[in-house]
Structure 1
Amino acid sequence: MLTDSQPTTTNNSRCVLLLYLVLCPAAVSRAVSCCCISCCVLLLYLVLCPAAVSRAVPRPVSCCCASCCVLLLCLVKMSHDVIVDALPYIDTGYDEPGVREAAIAMVEDEKKRYRPTKNYLEHLPQLNLNAFETEVMRCEFERVAARQPMDTLSMKRYELPPPPPGKMTDVAAWGECVDNSMAQLEHQATRITNLDLMNEFGSEAWKAHNNILQHMLTRSQAQLQEYKKEIQELNWSRKSMQTKAGEELRHLETSWVSLVSRNYEIEQACVLLEAEIAKSEREKEIQE
């Protein structure tokens, strides 16, 4: 009959594994998710080892606890590597009904219970919303905030008003009107010059602009194709790596189950031999 007392080597291995499980839980999550339920039972047995588990689950070889040591070495090695918490190309069950809803529910529950204790933006300067405001923008924002109507476009500078009735004989007033007329005439002449220049060179400038846009489009499309190619190569590489890793994991899991089963058979044989030895000793004592 099995008891809760274990050899010193097994206790030491179990203590080391317990410390590792407490200090490095991220490494264990990958190991538990990759293994079958028997791996979880072994982890529970090696860490907790209650009486009920010891009676229900056969313990590994007591003298050396080889499975515990191998698992501990694997976990230590994983702690120094990049932990990949999901292998979507080999893991299954993501498309089953209720899985996505359960994951979203867990995330929402975590969001409700999470209370940040640190301001992660304290190293940044205070946000200044008025850094790029000009005087015109500020006045316009104030007008919008006051719900005032926008000023209409003033056409006064394009008008040619005569002098006021009281200054019809004032030479200075007529001089101002003449200056205004000359300014308006020069403005119209400038507009005509701009239209002539646009008529002569505008089409060529527009063609050059279109060529620049076409060159930018071609370069952007080529860059997009390069990115798509890199993404496809990365996906293929990731799929190949995960497929190989999945085959290795399944092989290791099968080997582990085989070794545990063999250890269980050896343990059973040892228990039977111990029982036979004890029986033989009792018969020998009775005969004596």
Structure 2
Amino acid sequence: MAATAKLQTFFSNIELTSYPGPQSSYQKLARQQTMTTIDSLPYYDRDLDVIPNLRQRIEREIELELKSTSPPPTSNLDQTTTHHPFLSEFPNLLASSARPSRLADRSDPNYQSNGSTDSLDIERFNIPYPDDHTSLEEWEKALSNAKSQLEHQRLRLINLDLIGKHGANHWKLSNFLVDQEISKVDKLVALCKDEIDDVNRRRKAHQTDVGDRLTDLAQKWQNLISTNISLEITNINLKMEVEALQQEAATLKQKLET
């Protein structure tokens, strides 16, 4: 009975004190002095596939965390309009994009109650007559106003003529420059994608190599633990045999003395 109690005490101590469990791959990586970047091991760890119900537990924890966090502040923008989450960091940009256009601006003189607008407001092109037809000063002001408007119209005609002559070429040049910029951006995007693919390939190769070494080390650790347990059990058995022999020797000695 005493030997059985000793074995039970020994195995209970193994689980709690003598042999702590192996460290996870993340803890091992954190203790490597040569590593400058702490990275997860998605190409090596298969905890989601090995541990039952782990994915459900993680999703449940994420859901609880999302419920405990406060929702993002809402603005006066139209909630039906969807924006990329990145734009939420630029409220001024969203506000400018949500600002009503000129056609929907009720302060515009051309805005009608039914939401439509006139095709053209010609009131500003009228030349008002002076209120006092007998005042020379009023007629001079009206004449000056008419000359100003005529000069403005002449400049507009000149601009329209220049647009008619050179606008097409300028538009083509602008489109050409835009195409060049798009080509540069496409090349940059392709270069970034190649770099990302290269990083992922090197990351996978590195993690595969590290994972193999971690597997070997974990296997060695388990073998050492098994060896230590076997040695401890052997020591206990030897102690029990020694105690039994000592007790037998004491009994024989007592018999010889009598």
TM range (shorter): 0.5 to 0.7
TM-score (norm 2): 0.64
Q: CA RMSD in A?
A: 4.0
The letter for the 2-side match of 1:217 is I
Q: How many angstroms apart in 1 are the aligned matches of 2:218 and 2:145?
A: 95
Per-residue CA shift, 1:41-63, capped at 9, x if unaligned? Answer: xxxxxxxxxx977434648xx9x
Secondary structure, counterpart of 1:94 in structure 2: helix
- What percentage of residue pairs aligned between the two structures are identical? 25
Contact 1:94 1:100 in 2 (8 A): yes
Residue 105 (structure 1) shift: 2.6
8 Å CA contact 1:89, 1:239 repeated in 2: yes
Tell me what 2:219 maps to.
254
The amino acid that maps onto 2:239 is: E
Cα deviations by residue, 1:153-177 (Å, 9 ceiling, x for unpaired): 575542112222xx22222222222
- Number of residue pairs matched by the alignment: 206
Aligned to 2:60: 105
Unpaired runs of at least 5, structure 2 = 71-90, 100-104, 111-120, 254-258
Counterpart contact for 2:29–2:38, Cα < 8 Å? no
Q: Cα 1:173–1:192, aligned 2, differ >3 Å: closer, same or farther?
A: same
Stretch deviating more after TM superposition (99-108 or 176-185): 99-108
Verify: 1:90 aligned to 2:41, yes or no. no
Contact 1:2 1:55 in 2 (8 A): no
2:150 is the alignment partner of 1:185? yes
Q: Which residue is 1:195 aligned to?
A: 160
Distance 1:199 1:92 in 2: 68
> How far apart, CA to CA, are the structure 2 residues paired with 1:191 and 1:239?
65
After TM superposition, give the deviation of residue 217 of structure 1 in Å: 0.4
1:273 matched to 2:229? The reply is: no
Distance 1:245 1:174 in 2: 94
Taking the aligned partners of 1:76 and 1:199, their CA distance within structure 2 comes to 69
**1:193-232 equivalences in 2 (<5 Å):** 193-232=158-197
Match of 2:109 among 152, 159, 176: 152
Question: Aligned letter for 1:109?
Answer: L
Write the distance in 1 (CA, Å) between the matches of 2:141 and 2:68: 77
CA deviations over 1:25-80 (Å, ceiling 9, x no partner): xxxxxxxxxxxxxxxxxxxxxxxxxx977434648xx9xx8x77x98xx9697075
Partner of 1:55: 11
User: For the residues of structure 2 that align with 1:53 and 1:280, how far apart are their CA atoms?
Assistant: 23
Could you list the per-position Cα deviations for residues 81-127 of structure 1 after superposition, in whole angstroms to 9, with x for gaps in the alignment?
56847311111243699544422332343466689xxxxxxxxxxxx
Opposite residue 237 of structure 1, the aligned amino acid is: R
- Which consecutive residues of structure 1, in runs of 5 or more, have no partner in the other structure? 5-50, 116-128, 131-136, 141-147
Q: Does 1:284 align with 2:239?
A: no
Paired residues of 2:43 and 2:207 also in contact (CA < 8 A):
yes
* Cα deviation, residue 241, structure 1: 1.2
What TM-score do you get using the length of structure 1 for normalisation? 0.58
The offset of 1:248, in angstroms, is 0.9
Residues 126-149 of structure 1: CA deviation (Å, up to 9, x unaligned): xxx99xxxxxx9xx9xxxxxxx94
Q: Could you tell me whether the CA contact under 8 Å between 2:44 and 2:208 is conserved in 1? A: yes
1:245 aligns with 2:210: yes
Q: 1:89–1:242: 8 Å Cα contact kept in structure 2?
A: yes
Q: How do 1:68-87 residues align onto structure 2 when only pairs under 5 Å count? A: 78=31, 80=33, 84=38, 86-87=40-41
Q: 1:3-40: CA deviations, max 9, x gaps?
A: 89xxxxxxxxxxxxxxxxxxxxxxxxxxxxxxxxxxxx
Structure of higher RCO (CA pairs closer than 8 Å, 6+ residues apart)? 1
Counterpart amino acid of residue 162 in structure 1: Y
